[in-house]
């Protein structure tokens, strides 16, 4: 495990922790989700470059496409929450309560 | 040969002549009311030899005249039963009707429809005599319904007055509830005894069944205003005073008691029905006597007095003394009609004032009316050797020596003392003291049309008790010996009530009237019975029918059975089962737990 890979995995882990431990704003969670997607993309590209195996580049392209779709869905959810509540405070999201 | 049968039929048929006269050539030369009155007088006179011959021979007659209809199993004929009950009752009814018709010549003198009034009275009399002489239940039912309908027409005589219309409808409704019982009894007799003839029904009393007798008891309770079906009788005082005197004191209201007397062979063996009759009659007599104590309308006091005496008649039937009850019917008719006629005289002379708090001082201005009123009240309370004594005292003696329900007998005695209490109150407030009516009232009772009937009925109230009891054939075994205190109990109860009422009235005459107590209000509002029952029962019935017809189908089948039930079931179950509280941060934090666990486990 070279240092670069460990660096990237550390960035991924920090973004994951950031997504799971957000305090009041939902957009923080979404930003960390983007960070996770970015670190994964960088890692895939580095693997393709370091192992001299250009065919693996397709994995990074597809990962980027799906990350973009997911970002769009996340932003749509954020917009709808912001429309009904005015802000994206997490303690507003209590519709699941019984 | 005993001729009393054709003479009696002449009597009955001659009563129908004035009715047919109105159909053919009305109102020829003399006035129609006068014609009707003299017809009834001649009918009374022709019925007297018939009754006398019957008393002499003690031979009852049954006349089967016109064969009307035959079904598979039932013959219906027009049959008249001239036995002890009908032969004794017919002259009395005719005498009282004659007196009342002469009285109403004076009372309804200014009425433009006086001819119609007399025709109604005559049709009522015909229906009543049909009821009394009926030998089969079908003819009895015709008479029963006839008196009900004539009661309706006569109570609502002044039909522009809403209270009169309400009272007439009330009378019809309460009588209808009683008719259910009568029709039940008729149906049972038709199915089981296969006949509506009294001879066949009364002969087959081996094992008497309770169901038809309960039906007859319900019919008697409806027609004779027993407790539970009693409010129509005080309300029926909306009719003119002659109507009250004839129908609702002497003749119509005793039809129920008469029915039970006719069926006494069936009731002899059934002790449960006798007990029910006894308790119902005792409750009625006490309750209506309590209500009569605080009424302020003179006609209502006499109406409650009638109701109380009807309860007493039911008590007599309850102790298995039908002949005594019949004797009380005959004697009661005299003094009650007299009391109503005196009330009518007072009311008309005081310019239609019916409130006893606004009468007074009538001794000097209306001597004959006052005297007759006092004699009538004394006869009612059972003053020794006036008319009421011969029946009422015998009844109290019979109750004291009979082996039945002591509570019912005790409250009958209380009702006896209350009878004399309210009679005393009536006399003291209407006749004595200073006059409380306006000074320029024209009081004049010097009209023979008014005075002659009152005089006749006063003489009747005094001597008929003696005449009847000394001339009737022996009917039931005489009462055994009893101790002196039991023999005097009725007299003591009456005297107690009289003295208490006299003392209380004279002592509290000049005191300031305080707010009425709860007991006073109970008595004055008739026990709150009409107040609670008359609105509640129809309202609940209408509400139930509206719900059943309109609400039930829609709300149940379209909403509650499928959709709302499912959604409600889901919501309640998920609320009980779920643990979700919507704590998103905690849930996302919990993602870390498996990660750390995996990390540590792999180490």
DSSP helix/strand/coil, B67: strand
Determine whether the interchain pair B582/A21 forms a contact, defined as Cβ–Cβ distance below 8 Å. Answer: no
pLDDT at residue B483 is higher than 70? yes
Do B149 and B155 touch, CB atoms closer than 8 A? no
d(CA B493, CA B419): 10
- Give the per-residue pLDDT at A80: 87
Which chain B residues are within 8 Å of A23, Cβ to Cβ?
A: 585
Residues B420 and B557 in one domain: no
Domain boundary among B484, B512, B540: B512
Residue A29 near chain B (CB below 8 Å) = yes
Q: Residues of B with CB below 8 A from A95's CB?
A: 582
pLDDT at A66: 96
Asked, for residue B539, whether it belongs to a domain, the answer is: no
Instruction: Indicate yes or no: CB of A98 within 8 angstroms of CB of B588.
Output: no
- Would you call A93 an interface residue with chain B, using a CB distance cutoff of 8 Å? yes
The domain segmentation of chain A, as residue ranges, is 1-88
Q: Which of B573, B588, B590, B596 to mutate to test the interface with A (most CBs of A within 10 A)?
A: B588
Q: Are residues B530 and B522 in contact, defined by beta-carbon separation less than 8 angstroms?
A: no
How far, in Å, are B411, B413, B489 from residue B493 at the CA level?
11, 7, 6
Residues B312 and B362 in one domain: yes
Is A22 part of the contact surface with chain B (CB cutoff 8 Å)? yes
pLDDT, greater one: A61 or B385: A61
Q: Is the pLDDT of residue B92 over 90?
A: yes
Task: State whether B589 and A23 contact (CB < 8 Å).
Answer: no
Q: Do the chains contact at A98 and B591, CB–CB below 8 Å?
A: no
Cβ–Cβ under 8 Å, residues B256 and B144: no
Give me the residue from B578, B585, B592 closest to A90, CB to CB: B585
Q: Tell me how crowded residue A90 is: count the other CB atoms within 10 A of its CB.
A: 19
Tokens of B58: 């003690």
* B268 shares its domain with B326: yes
Tell me how far apart the alpha carbons of residues B229 and B173 are, in angstroms, rounded to a whole number. Answer: 10
Asked whether residue B506 falls in the same domain as residue B557, the answer is no
For residue B595, which residues of chain A lie inside 8 Å, CB to CB? 16
Least confident of B71-75, B201-205, B271-275: B201-205
Within-domain flag for B520 = no
Q: Where are the beta strands (DSSP E) in B20-87?
A: 61-70, 75-82
Mutate to test the interface with A, among B571, B576, B585, B589 (most CBs of A within 10 A): B585
CB within 8 Å of B333: residues ≥ 6 apart: B92, B93, B96, B249, B250, B251, B254
Contacts of A20 in chain B (CB under 8 A): 588-589, 591-592
Structural domain contains residue B525: no
Contact residues, chain B to chain A, C-beta under 8 Å: 574-575, 578, 580-582, 584-585, 588-589, 591-592, 595
Are the C-beta atoms of residues B327 and B469 closer than 8 Å to each other?
yes
How far A9 CA lies from chain B's nearest CA (Å)?
14
Altogether, the residues listed in chain A come to a count of: 98
Backbone angles phi, psi at B108, to 5 degrees: -100, 30
Q: Residue B482 and residue A8: Cα distance in Å, rounded?
A: 125
Q: Is A52 on the interface with B (CB under 8 A)?
A: no
pLDDT in tens, A31-79: 999 999 999 999 999 999 999 999 999 999 999 999 999 999 999 989 9
Neighbouring residues of B363: CB distance < 8 A, sequence distance ≥ 6: B370, B431, B432
Query: Average pLDDT over chain B, rounded to whole?
Result: 89
Specify the higher pLDDT residue, B40 or B199. Answer: B40
Question: Is B537 contained in some domain?
Answer: no
Q: Tell me the count of A-B CB pairs closer than 8 A.
A: 32
For residues B561 and B499, state if they share a domain. no
Residues B302 and B204 in one domain: yes
Query: Which chain B positions have a beta carbon within 8 Å of A24's beta carbon?
Result: none
Same-domain status, B495 and B579: no
Q: Does the beta-carbon distance from A98 to B580 stay under 8 Å?
A: yes
Where is the domain boundary, B490, B512, B534? B512
Query: Distance between CA B399 and CA B319 in Å, rounded?
Result: 7
pLDDT at B576: 80
Query: Do B312 and B386 fall within a single domain?
Result: yes
Q: Do B210 and B270 meet the contact criterion of CB atoms below 8 Å apart?
A: yes
User: Which secondary structure element, helix H or strand E, spans residue B84, and what is its range?
Assistant: helix B84-107
pLDDT at B269: 85
Write down the pLDDT at residue B580: 66
Q: Are residues B464 and B565 in the same domain?
A: no
Whether the pTM exceeds 0.90: the reply is no
Which residues of A are less than 8 Å from B588 in CB distance? 19-22, 29
pLDDT in tens, B336-370: 999 999 999 999 999 888 999 899 889 888 999 99
Task: Note whether B56 and B176 are same-domain residues.
Answer: yes
| pLDDT-based confidence at residue A94 (cuts at 50, 70, 90) | low
Q: Which uninterrupted H or E stretch holds B45?
A: helix B32-57
A90 touches chain B (CB under 8 A): yes
- Structural domain contains residue B184: yes
Chain B CB contacts of A22 under 8 Å are: 585, 588
Q: Give the DSSP per-residue string, A54-83.
A: GGGHHHHHHHHHHHHHHHHHHHHHHHHHHH
Query: What is the CATH code for A1-88?
Result: 1.10.287.3510
- Does the CB of A9 have a partner CB in chain B at under 8 Å? no
The contacts found for B17-25 with CB under 8 angstroms, 24 or more apart, are B18/B118, B18/B119, B18/B122, B19/B119, B19/B122, B19/B123, B19/B126, B22/B115, B22/B119
**A15 inside 8 A of chain B by CB:** no
Domain membership flag for residue B528? no
ipTM given for this complex:
0.74
Q: Is B483 helix (H, G, I), strand (E, B) or coil?
A: coil
In a domain, B573, yes or no: yes
Chain-chain contact of B582 with A29 (C-beta, under 8 angstroms): no
| Cβ distance of B578 and A98 shorter than 8 Å | yes
- The torsion region of residue A24 among left (phi > 0), alpha (psi -120 to 50) and beta comes to alpha
Closest residue of A to B580, CA-based?
A97
pLDDT per position as a tens digit, B439-470 = 888 888 899 999 999 999 999 889 998 988 88
Claim to verify: residue B404 and residue B458 sit in the same structural domain: yes
Flag whether residue A41 sits within 8 Å of chain B, measured between CB atoms: no
Residues of A with Cβ-Cβ distance to B575 under 8 angstroms? 98
Residues B495-510 as b or e (16 or more Cβ within 10 Å = b): eebbeebbeebeeeee
A54 CA: distance to closest CA in chain B (Å): 32
Does residue B521 fall inside a structural domain? no
**B588/A29 Cβ within 8 A:** yes
- B66's CB contacts (< 8 A; 6+ apart) are B77, B78
Provide the domain count of chain B.
2
Give the pLDDT confidence score for residue B187 in this predicted structure. 93
Which residue from A21, A94, A97 is facing B589, i.e. has the nearest CB?
A: A21
Asked if the model's pLDDT at residue B553 lies above 90, the reply is no
Task: Determine, for residues B589 and A97 on separate chains, whether the beta-carbon distance falls below 8 Å.
Answer: no
Same domain for B478 and B574, yes or no, is no
In chain A, whose CA is at the least distance from the CA of B577? Answer: A98
Q: Is B490 exposed, middle or buried (0-12, 13-18, 19+ CB in 10 A)?
A: buried
The answer for residues whose C-beta is within 8 angstroms of residue B264's C-beta and 6 or more apart is: B317, B320, B322
Mean pLDDT to the nearest integer, B388-403: 88
| A78 and chain B in contact, CB less than 8 A | no
Query: pLDDT digit string (tens) for B319-328?
Result: 988 999 999 9
Judged against a pLDDT cut of 80, whether residue B168 lies above it is answered with yes
How close B558 comes to chain A (CA, Å)? 28
What is the C-alpha to C-alpha distance for residues B424 and B422, in angstroms, rounded to an integer? 5
């Amino acid at each position: 495990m070279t240092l670069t890979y460990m660096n990237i995995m550390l960035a991924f882990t920090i973004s994951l922790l950031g997504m799971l431990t957000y305090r009041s704003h939902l957009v923080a969670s979404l930003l960390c989700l983007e960070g996770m997607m970015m670190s994964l993309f960088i890692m895939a590209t580095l693997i393709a470059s370091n192992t001299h195996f250009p065919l693996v580049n397709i994995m990074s392209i597809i990962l980027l496409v799906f990350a973009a779709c997911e970002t769009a869905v996340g932003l749509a959810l954020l917009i709808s929450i912001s429309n009904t509540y005015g802000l994206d405070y997490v303690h507003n999201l209590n519709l699941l309560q019984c | 040969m005993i001729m009393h049968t054709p003479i009696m039929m002449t009597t009955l048929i001659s009563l129908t002549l004035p009715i047919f006269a109105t159909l053919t050539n009305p109102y020829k030369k003399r006035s129609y009311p006068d014609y009707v009155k003299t017809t009834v007088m001649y009918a009374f006179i022709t019925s007297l030899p018939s009754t006398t011959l019957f008393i002499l021979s003690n031979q009852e007659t049954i006349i089967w005249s016109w064969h009307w209809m035959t079904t598979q199993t039932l013959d219906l004929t027009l049959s008249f039963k001239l036995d002890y009950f009908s032969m004794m009752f017919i002259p009395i009814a005719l005498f009282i009707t004659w007196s009342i018709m002469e009285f109403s010549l004076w009372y309804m003198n200014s009425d433009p429809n006086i001819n119609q009034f007399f025709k109604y009275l005559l049709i009522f009399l015909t229906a009543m005599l049909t009821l009394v002489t009926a030998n089969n239940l079908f003819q009895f039912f015709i008479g029963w319904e006839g008196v009900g309908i004539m009661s309706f027409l006569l109570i609502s005589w002044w039909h522009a007055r809403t209270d009169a219309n309400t009272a007439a409808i009330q009378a019809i409704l309460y009588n209808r509830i009683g008719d259910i019982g009568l029709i039940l009894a008729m149906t049972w007799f038709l199915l089981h005894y296969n006949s509506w003839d009294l001879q066949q029904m009364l002969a087959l009393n081996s094992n008497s069944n309770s169901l038809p007798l309960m039906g007859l008891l319900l019919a008697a309770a409806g027609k004779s205003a027993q407790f539970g079906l009693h409010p129509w009788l005080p309300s029926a005082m909306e009719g003119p005073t002659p109507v009250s005197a004839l129908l609702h004191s002497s003749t119509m209201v005793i039809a129920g008691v008469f029915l039970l007397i006719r069926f006494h062979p069936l009731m002899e063996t059934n002790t449960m029905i006798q007990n029910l009759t006894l308790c119902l009659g005792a409750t009625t007599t006490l309750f209506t006597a309590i209500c009569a104590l605080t009424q302020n309308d003179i006609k209502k006091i006499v109406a409650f007095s009638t109701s109380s005496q009807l309860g007493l008649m039911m008590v007599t039937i309850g102790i298995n003394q039908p002949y005594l009850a019949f004797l009380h019917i005959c004697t009661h008719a005299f003094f009650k009609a007299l009391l109503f006629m005196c009330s009518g005289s007072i009311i008309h002379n005081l310019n239609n004032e019916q409130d006893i708090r606004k009468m007074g001082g009538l001794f000097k201005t209306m001597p004959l009316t006052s005297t007759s009123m006092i004699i009538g009240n004394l006869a009612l309370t059972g003053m020794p050797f006036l008319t009421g004594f011969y029946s009422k005292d015998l009844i109290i003696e019979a109750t004291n020596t009979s082996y039945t329900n002591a509570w019912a007998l005790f409250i009958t005695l209380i009702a006896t003392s209350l009878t004399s209490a309210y009679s005393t109150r009536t006399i003291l407030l209407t006749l004595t003291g200073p006059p409380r009516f306006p000074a320029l009232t024209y009081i004049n009772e010097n009209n023979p049309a008014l005075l002659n009937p009152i005089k006749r009925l006063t003489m009747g109230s005094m001597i008929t008790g003696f005449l009847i009891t000394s001339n009737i054939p022996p009917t039931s075994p005489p009462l055994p010996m009893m101790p002196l205190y039991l023999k005097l109990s009725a007299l003591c109860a009456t005297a107690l009530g009289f003295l208490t009422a006299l003392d209380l009235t004279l002592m509290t005459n000049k005191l300031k009237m305080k707010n009425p107590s709860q007991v006073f209000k109970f008595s004055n509002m008739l026990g709150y019975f009409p107040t609670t029952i008359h609105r509640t029962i129809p309202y609940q019935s209408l509400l139930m029918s509206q719900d059943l017809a309109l609400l039930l189908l829609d709300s149940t089948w379209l909403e509650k059975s499928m959709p709302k039930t499912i959604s409600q079931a889901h919501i309640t179950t998920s609320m009980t089962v779920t643990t979700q509280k919507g704590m998103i941060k905690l849930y996302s934090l919990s993602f870390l737990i498996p990660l750390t666990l995996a990390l540590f486990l792999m180490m």
